[in-house]
Chains A and B, each alone.
Chain A
Amino acid sequence: MNTVLKEENNDLVMYFEGRLDTASAPETEKAVAPLKESSGRDIILDCSKLDYISSAGLRIFLSILKSAKPKGDHVYIRGISDSIRAVFAMTGFVNLFEFK
C-alpha cells in the first residue's frame, strides 16, 4: 500500500495505490494524518490505483470526512473503480462522499 500526498490547485490530493486492507490500515492511518490537520482546503482522495479496500480502509475514509466536515471542507473521491464503488455502495458510503 502506497500513499502520496500532493497539492493540486490549492486542493490536497491523496493518491492511494494497492490494497487498503486491515494489515495496511495502521500505516495508511498515519499517512492521512496531514489531511485531518489541514483546514480551508478541499481534499481529494484519488483511488484510481486503489485495488482493494476493506472496512478498515473505509473507516479511514470516514475519519477524514468526519474531520473535514466541521471545518467546511469538502472531501472528494476521484477515479474510483467499479468494484470499489460497489463496496462504497454496499456500505452506504456513496451517500457520504462526493465523487469527481
Chain B
Amino acid sequence: MKSLLNIEKHMKGILQYIRRKLSIRVSLSVVFFAAIIFIVALGFFFYQAREAVRQEAINRAMQTLDKTSLRVEGILNRVEVASEMTKWLVQRHPDVPDSMFVYSRSMLLNNPDFYNCSIAFEPNYFKDKGRYFSAYTKHDCDSLRTIQGGSDSYQYFYMDWYLMPTLLNMPCWTEPYMDLDVVTSTSEMLTSYCQAINDKQGKLIGVINTSLSISWLSQTISAVKPYPNSYSIMIGRGGTYFVHPDTTKITSQTIFTQNLERPDTALASLGHAMQKGEEGVKQMKMDGQHCYVFYKPLGKTGCSMAIVCPESDIFSGFDRLRNSVIAIVLVGLLFMLIFFIRIITSELKPLRRLATEAKTIASGQFDAKLPELRRIDEIGQLSHSFADMQQSLVKYIEELKKTTAQKASIESDLRIASGIQMAMLPKGYPPYPERDDIDIYGQLVSAKEVGGDLFDFFMRDEKLFFCIGDVSGKGVPASLVMAVTRTLFRSVAAHEALPDRIVTDMNETMAANNESDMFVTLFVGVLDMLSGRMRYCNAGHDAPILVGSGAGLLPCDSNIPVGVMQDWKYTPQETTIDPGTTIFLYTDGLTEAENKDHAQFQEKRILDVIRQTPHAPKQIIEAMTQAVHQFVGDADQSDDLTMLALQYKHQQPDIYYQRSLTLPNDVQTIPKLSGFVETVCEASNLDMDTCMQMNLAIEEAVVNVMNYAYPKGVKGMVNIDATISSKGLKFVISDNGKPFDPTAKAEVDTSLSAEERGIGGLGIHLIRQIMDGINYEYIDGRNVLTLLKVI
C-alpha cells in the first residue's frame, strides 16, 4: 500500500516535471506520434511478412512432404515391383527350389535397401524339401545370407504376412512387426510386402515376403527436415507409429494412445484425418509447442506421414528480424527523444534566460541586462519585444514615479490648502460661550479636498455679522475665490455695518478684477444683538429659512451674485428676529444633493426636517446631515454641503435703575455729562478708577456726536439714557443728526511712533477699550449708540 502510494507520488512528480518542461513535452509528443506511425507500419509489415513466411513454410513443408512421400512411395513401389518380378520368376520355374534362393538373393542384391526377402512355399510343396521351404535372404553385415527359413520352430505359413495375402487374395503390406533373426539373435521392426504366388492353375503355392526395415524407413523419412527442429511421423492404418522421433513409441503406441491419458481433440482429429488418408495442414499444439503439422497418405500402404514443424522454427528467422527491427526502432525512438529534447532545450535556452531575466525585472530590477540574441526567429522576436517592453517599462515606471510624486505633492498641497481653508472657517462651538443671547452652529463638508463654499460670522459692536456663500465652480479655483471672498467679507465688515454696503464693496473689488469670470452667491446678514433687528443683503444665494413658531423662507430681493458686474446696487433688506428664532442658512449642496436616481433633496425636505427637529442650531444641522446622508445613500457627494444656523435668544434684562440726560451739541456742557455719569456710577457701586474710565468713554462718545452729527452752526440735542440692569450698565447715546456710525471707523494703531500717529480715532478706541460692548444703529432717523459695561 505504502509502495503504491510512493509510486503514485513518483508518477505525479514525473508528470509535474513533464508539464514544466516544454522540451520533454514536445519531444514526447513527436516521438509518440512517430511511435504510432512505426507501430502501424511495422504491424502491417509484420503481419504481411508473417503471412508470407507462413505461406512459404506451408509450401516448403508440403513440397518436402510430397518429395518424401514420393520417395517413400518410390521405395514401396520398388518393393512391389521387385516382388512382382520375383513372383513372375517363381511362377516360371515353380519346381526348382534352389533357384528360389537365387531369386531371393538377387532381390536383395538388386535392392540393397531391402531388409530381407523370403519366398515361402506351401507346406510340403517341394517333396524333397520336407514340410518347410522358405528361401530367405537377409543382409548380414556387408554380405548376403541366404538360408532356408522354415522350421518347426518357425512355421511361417501361420504367420500374418503369409496368411494375409492368401486370405485377402491380393498383395498387401503388413503392419509393422518384430522380426527375430535367429542366427544373429537380433530383432528388427519390419513391414513386409506380401504377395501370394499361384501356379498356372491358380492354386496357391507360396508367398513372397519383401521386408523393409522400419528404422531404415524412419531414417529415410526423418532425414527430411525442412526446419532444424522439425520431425516426421508416420502411422499405419490403425494409427500405430511407424516413424516417430521417440523410438519407444514406434509400434508400441498409436496416435490415439496419448489421447487416452490427456484428451487432445486436435491430435485425435489429426489421427482421424491421417487414418482416412487425407492430405492437409493443421496448426496445433504438440508436446507443448505450437506446431504446423503437414500430413499426407503414403501411397497404397495405408500409412500416412506427417511433418511436424514447430512454429518457432518456421518463424525463427522472421522473429529474429522482427525483434531486430523493433529493437532498432525502439533505440531509434529513444535516440530521437533524446535528440529532440536536446535540440529543443538548446533552442529554448534563450527563452529560459529570458524567463529568468523577466523574473529579475519583475522583482523590481528594471535595469537587468537582457541576453542579446542574434536570432531572427520567433524567439529572437520575443527577445526583441521583451527588450522593447523593458525599455518602455523603465520609461513608464520613471514617468509613473514622477507622476506619482507630482500627484503626492499636489495631494499634499491640497491637504494643506484644505487645512488652510478649513482654518478660515469659524471653529469651536459654541463660539460665544459667554453669551446667552446667541447660539451658532456651522458645518462645511467639501466634495473635494478644497471647495468653493464658505460661511463666516463674527461679533462686532453687539452685532453679529454673518455670511454664507457658494463660489461658482469647484476645486482649487473655487477655493481661491472662496478665500478672497471670506477675506473681503472680514475686511469690509470690519468697518461697515450695513450688509448691502458690505456686499456692494465686495462686489466692486471682486468684479473689478474678475478675469476668470467666477462669481459668488452670497448672503450677508447683520444681526443687532440688542434689538433683534437683522439687516441683510442677498446676492443671488438661496434664501435662508427662519425657524420660529413656524418655518418659512426669508423674503429676499433678487440681486445678482457678487463678482458678476460692477456698479450693481445691492438692495438692503431688514427684518426683526424674535427671540428664540433660528436662522438656517445653507448652500445649494443641500437642496441639490442627489441620490442614485438623480433625485434632489430639495427645499421641501429641508422644511420637513426642520419641522420635526428642536430649534437648537446644532440639532438642526445634525438632523439635516443625517437626513441628507439617508437620502443620498451610496451616491457620491457632488457638491460642497454647507449649513449655518443661528439662534437669537436675547432676553430683555430686568432694569433696576434708569436715568436720562439731554445736552445741546456744545462741548462746554461736558462737565454736566461728567456729573451725570458719576451719579450713575455711584448708583452702580463702581470704584473710582472704573468710574473715571466710564466718564472718559461716555465723554468721548458724546463729544463725537456733538462734533460730527450736526453740521457746523446747526443746533442739535444729544440724549444720554443710562440703565442698570441684571446685564450691567448701559448707556444709550442718541441724536437725530445725520447718520454717523462711529464703530465703522478703522481702529487706530497704538504701536505707531509719535510722528506717525494721527490725532483722530482715539475717542472710539478708548470707548472700545473701556466698554464691554458698543453698538451703533440708525433707527427711525436717529443715530443710536449703545455702550455696555458688565458689572
Contacts of B748 in A (CB 8 A): 91-92
In this assembly, does B528 line the interface, its C-beta being within 8 Å of a C-beta of chain A?
Answer: no
Task: Assess whether A90 is in contact with B765, with CB atoms less than 8 Å apart.
Answer: yes
Are A52 and B689 CB-contacts (below 8 A) given A23-B668, A23-B670? no
Query: Across the interface, which residues of B come within 8 angstroms of A82, CB to CB?
Result: 689
Produce 1/0 per residue, A48-62, CB < 8 A to B.
000111111011001
Chain B nearest CB: distance from A11 CB in Å?
19
Known interface pairs A55-B763, A58-B762, A96-B754. Does A86 touch B670 (Cβ–Cβ under 8 Å)?
Answer: no
Q: Which of B699, B749, B754 contacts A54 (CB 8 A)?
A: B699
C-alpha gap A56/B377 in the complex (Å) = 104
Contact among A23, A69, A90 for B766, CB-based, below 8 A: A90
Least CB separation from B759: chain A residue = A59
Do B755 and A69 touch (CB < 8 A)?
A: yes
* Cβ < 8 Å to B, chain A residues 68-94: 69, 82-83, 86-87, 90-92
Number of interface residues of B (CB under 8 A): 31
Give the contacts of B734-784 with A (CB-CB under 8 A): 748-755, 757, 759, 762-763, 765-766, 769-770
CB interface residues, B 669-704, toward A, < 8 Å: 669-671, 674, 688-689, 692-693, 695-696, 699-700, 703
A66 touches B692 (CB 8 A): no
Contact among A54, A58, A96 with B753 in the assembled complex (CB-CB below 8 Å): A96
A21, B755: Cβ atoms under 8 Å? no
- Residues facing A in B630-684 (CB within 8 A) are 667-671, 674
Dominant SS at the A interface?
helix
Interface size on A, residues (CB 8 A): 26
Residues of B within 8 A of A23 (CB): 667-671
A82 to chain B, nearest CB (A): 7
**Residues of chain B within 8 A of A41, CB atoms compared:** none
Whether A95 is near chain B, meaning CB under 8 Å from some CB there, is yes
Q: Is A38 in contact with chain B by the CB < 8 A criterion?
A: no
User: Is A83 in contact with B754, judged by CB distance below 8 angstroms?
Assistant: no
For the complex, give the distance between the alpha carbons of A80 and B7 in Å.
114
**Which residue of chain B has its CB nearest to the CB of A75?**
B754
**Min CB–CB distance B696 → chain A (angstroms):** 6
Q: Which of B692-725 contact A (CB under 8 A)?
A: 692-693, 695-696, 699-700, 703
Residues on B with beta carbons closer than 8 Å to the beta carbon of A65: 754
How many Å lie between the Cα of A69 and that of B757 in the bound state? Answer: 13
Is B754's CB under 8 angstroms from A62's CB?
yes
Given contacts A23-B668, A52-B695, A59-B759, contact A87 B754 (CB under 8 A): no
From A21, A53, A62, B757 is in contact (CB under 8 Å) with A62
Minimum Cβ distance to chain A for residue B534 (Å): 32
**CB–CB B750/A91 < 8 A:** yes
Distance in angstroms between the alpha carbons of A19 and B674 in the assembled complex: 10
Q: Is A22 an interface residue (CB 8 A)?
A: yes
Could you tell me the distance between the alpha carbons of A90 and B766 in the complex, rounded to whole angstroms? 7
Q: Contact at A52–B696, with CB atoms within 8 Å?
A: yes
With beta carbons under 8 angstroms apart, the residue of A21, A58, A83, A92 that contacts B699 is A21
A87 surroundings in chain B (CB, below 8 A): 693, 696, 766
A91 touches B765 (CB 8 A): yes
A96→B757 CA distance, assembly (Å): 10
Q: Which of B667, B670, B692, B766 contacts A91 (CB 8 A)?
A: B766
CA distance A19 to B675 in the complex (A): 12
Minimum CB–CB distance from B672 to chain A (whole Å) comes to 9
Minimum Cβ distance to chain B for residue A59 (Å): 5
Residue of A nearest to B749 (CB): A92
Q: Is the CB of B762 within 8 A of A59?
A: yes
- B residues less than 8 Å from A62 (CB atoms): 754, 757, 759
- Which DSSP category, helix, strand, loop or mixed, fits chain B's interface? helix
A94 shortest CB reach to chain B, Å: 9
A69 — which chain B residues lie within 8 A by C-beta?
754-755
CB B678 to nearest CB in A, in angstroms, measures 11
Residue contact A91 to B762, C-beta cutoff 8 Å: yes
Chain A nearest CB: distance from B650 CB in Å? 29
Question: Of residues A23, A56, A58, A59, which shows the largest number of chain B Cβ atoms within 10 Å of its Cβ?
Answer: A23
- Contact residues in A for B696 (Cβ distance below 8 Å): 52-54, 87
Q: Which residues of A contact B759 (CB under 8 A)?
A: 59, 62-63
Contact with A along B315-338 (1 / 0, CB 8 A): 000000000000000000000000
Determine if A86 and B754 form an interchain contact, defined as CB atoms under 8 angstroms apart: no
The distance from the CB of A61 to the nearest CB of chain B, in whole angstroms, is 10
How many Å lie between the Cα of A91 and that of B693 in the bound state? 13
The residue from B670, B754, B762 contacting A55, defined by CB atoms under 8 A apart = B762
Closest to A19 in B: B674
Question: Which residues does chain B contribute within 8 Å of A90, judged by CB atoms?
Answer: 750, 765-766, 769-770
Q: How far is the CA of A51 from the CA of B751 in the complex (A)?
A: 26
Residues of B within 8 A of A86 (CB): 689, 693
Set of chain B residues within 8 Å of A66, measured between Cβ atoms: 754-755
Among residues of B, the one whose C-beta sits closest to the C-beta of A95 is B751
Q: Closest CB-CB distance, B718 to chain A, in whole Å?
A: 13
Q: Name the contact of B670 in the complex, choosing from A22, A53, A59 (C-beta under 8 A).
A: A22
Distance of A51 Cα from B693 Cα, bound (Å): 11
A1–chain B nearest beta-carbon distance, Å: 10
A91 / chain B contacts, CB cutoff of 8 Å: 748, 750, 762, 765-766, 769
Q: Which of A6-63 contact B (CB under 8 A)?
A: 19, 21-23, 51-56, 58-59, 62-63
Name which of B669, B695, B754 has the most chain A CB atoms within 10 A of its CB.
Answer: B754
Of A52, A90, A95, which is in contact with the most chain B CB atoms at under 10 Å from its CB?
A: A90
Contacts A21-B674, A23-B671, A87-B766; A92 near B703 (Cβ below 8 A): no
Cross-interface CB contact of A83 among B668, B671, B692, B703, cutoff 8 Å = B692
Docked CA distance A22–B765 (Å): 16
In the bound assembly, the distance between CA atoms of A63 and B688 in angstroms comes to 29
Q: Which among A54, A56, A65, A83 has the greatest number of chain B C-beta atoms within 10 A?
A: A54
Q: A52-B692, A83-B692 are in contact. Are A22 and B754 (CB under 8 A)?
A: no
Q: Is the CB of B700 within 8 A of A54?
A: yes
- Closest Cβ of chain B: how far from A48's Cβ, in Å? 16
- Neighbouring B residues of A52 by C-beta, 8 Å: 692, 695-696
In the assembled complex, the Cα of A66 lies from the Cα of B667 at a distance in Å of 25
> Interface digits, B491-531 against A, CB 8 Å rule (1 contact, 0 not)?
00000000000000000000000000000000000000000
CA distance A76 to B663 in the complex (A): 37
- Contacts A22-B670, A86-B693 given; does A55 touch B751 at CB 8 Å: no
Chain B: minimal CB distance from A21 (Å): 5
A8 to B123: give the CA distance in the assembly, Å.
Answer: 218
In the complex, the answer to whether A56 meets B766 with C-beta atoms within 8 Å is no
A19 to B703, CA, bound (A): 15
Who on chain A is nearest to B668 by CB?
A23
Q: Are B750 and A83 in contact (CB under 8 A)?
A: no
Cα A56 to Cα B699 in complex, Å, equals 10
For residue B695, which residues in chain A have a CB less than 8 angstroms away from its CB?
Answer: 52
Complex Cα distance, B700 from A59, in Å, reads 13
Report the minimal beta-carbon distance from A39 to chain B, rounded to whole angstroms. 17
CB proximity of B381 to chain A, nearest CB, Å = 86
7 tightest A-B CB contacts, nearest first: A92-B750, A55-B762, A23-B670, A90-B769, A83-B689, A55-B763, A96-B754
Q: Name 13 A/B residue pairs within 8 A (Cβ), A-sorted.
A: A21-B674, A22-B703, A23-B668, A52-B695, A54-B699, A55-B700, A55-B763, A63-B759, A90-B750, A90-B765, A91-B762, A96-B753, A96-B754
Additional A-B contacts beyond A69-B755, A92-B748 (19; CB < 8 A): A21-B670, A21-B671, A22-B667, A22-B670, A22-B699, A23-B667, A23-B670, A51-B692, A54-B696, A55-B700, A55-B766, A59-B759, A62-B754, A63-B759, A90-B766, A91-B748, A91-B766, A95-B751, A96-B754
